[in-house]
Structure 1
Amino acid sequence: MNPSELYNLHIEIKELSSLSQELVEPLLVKYDLTSVQYRALQLIVLDESLAVKYVSNHLKIKPAAATALIDRLERKNLIERCQSEDDRRVVYIQATEGGKKTYHSINKCFTKIFNDFYSVLNEEETKRLKQIVGKLTEHVSSCIEDQC
């Protein structure tokens, strides 16, 4: 592909990402969550108990931003902090019952949204798309890291 075609492909990928965000955004607004807050809640619910540092590393945000994010989720009664019994300096976070219910309600709606979204692809196409997106994400992440 020539540079112009590659640029157009890049624009199409951006547009697809924007359109998919338009599908999920109203649902997150309904639950008073941002997409980053939802991703953090997802991590916490699925891992049951984890350190703030893990959230920071996984979401690729600064520790201060992760702490602010956790504070917001805690104020919404979706998560709670628990001190480690082994090391008082370590604070774990876990989902409250309300946080788990909220996550599962959103996830149920997301399942329907994304089943519809990807229904135009067969199983093989979906697997291949996942591989391609993963490969591109890994490559671009590596390029960004190398620039630092």
Structure 2
Amino acid sequence: MVRSPAWLLEISNHTYQLHREINKYTYFSCHPPSEVEDCLLKSQERERALEILTMPGHVIRRLNQMSTQVFATRMQEKGFDLTPVQFAALDAIRATPGLDQASIAAKIAYDRATIGGVIERLLQKNYVARVVSEKDRRARVITLTEEGEKAYRSIFPVVAELQDDILAKLTTEEREVFLSLASKALGA
């Protein structure tokens, strides 16, 4: 039986609830009823404040933080200076040669206004080149350099491997369900 992705919070929520119950009973046994009532009201306010821990946006943000940290750590261990967005751009450029910056941004679902900085850093690393389009002499397209191709071939296996680290607490079935549901939520 495949468990739903809600299990991601199951352990931390269970620990939180257990801790809350222990604190509540400890407090109740040591204080008069009027103080207990005040404590319960404050506890309910704290509970509402902690509801964010179970909100999808917060969980997704935390997962993104973890993913980015795993990516950065593994890249550093292997001697590469590349961010997840730079790798995504490099991958898009390799898969579809001759894209302009706006098309790269669209392909990797990144902001058009800030893709320029990503491309600039790839240019500085000599992973890509900006050349005049053969179809439209006014346009510039981004192409992978030989050094970029060599780097990509070295980096891709590391990126593929670190995916397992990001979802290490999930079984193979749970990973499939998680990815399917995440893609569905994105409208993909």
Q: Give me the whole-angstrom Cα distance separating, in 2, the residues matched to 1:80 and 1:57.
A: 19
Map 1:44-59; keep pairs closer than 5 Å: 44-58=93-107, 59=109
Structure 1 residues 83, 121: closer, same or farther in 2, change over 3 A?
A: same
Equivalent of residue 8 in structure 1, options 53, 56, 80: 53
Query: Could you say which structure has the greater relative contact order, defined with CA pairs below 8 angstroms and 6 or more residues apart?
Result: 2
Partner of 2:91: 42
Structure 1 alignment gaps of length 5 or more: 140-148
Distance in structure 1 (CA, Å) of the matches to 2:83 and 2:168: 26
Work out whether 1:27 is the aligned partner of 2:77.
Answer: no
Q: How much does 1:53 deviate?
A: 1.7
1:36 positional shift: 1.9
Identity of aligned residues (%): 26
Matches for 1:45-124 after TM superposition, within 5 Å:
45-58=94-107, 59-63=109-113, 65-118=114-167, 120-124=169-173
Give the 3-state SS of the residue equivalent to 1:82 in structure 2.
Answer: strand
Q: Distance in 2 between matches of 1:121 and 1:26?
A: 20
For normalisation by structure 2, the TM-score amounts to 0.60
TM norm structure 1: 0.73
Paired with 2:100 and 2:148, the residues of 1 have a C-alpha distance of 17
What residue identity is the alignment partner of 1:131? S
Stretches of structure 2 that go unaligned for 5 or more consecutive residues are 1-5, 7-47
Distance of 2:184 and 2:136 partners within structure 1: 39
**RMSD across aligned C-alpha pairs, in angstroms?**
2.8
Q: Match for residue 36 of structure 2? A: none
Offset at residue 24 of structure 1 (A) = 0.9
Report deviation, 1:71: 2.2
Give the distance between the partners of 2:117 and 2:169, measured in 1 at CA: 39
| 16-25 or 111-120: bigger deviation | 111-120
**Count of residues paired in the alignment:** 136
Distance in structure 2 (CA, Å) of the matches to 1:69 and 1:17: 19
1:2-27 C-alpha deviation (Å, 9 max, x unpaired): xx697333344433332222211123
Q: Based on CA coordinates, which of the two structures has the bigger radius of gyration?
A: 2
**Whole-angstrom distance in 2 between the partners of 1:68 and 1:17:** 21
| Distance change >3 Å, CA 52–CA 15, structure 1 → 2 | closer
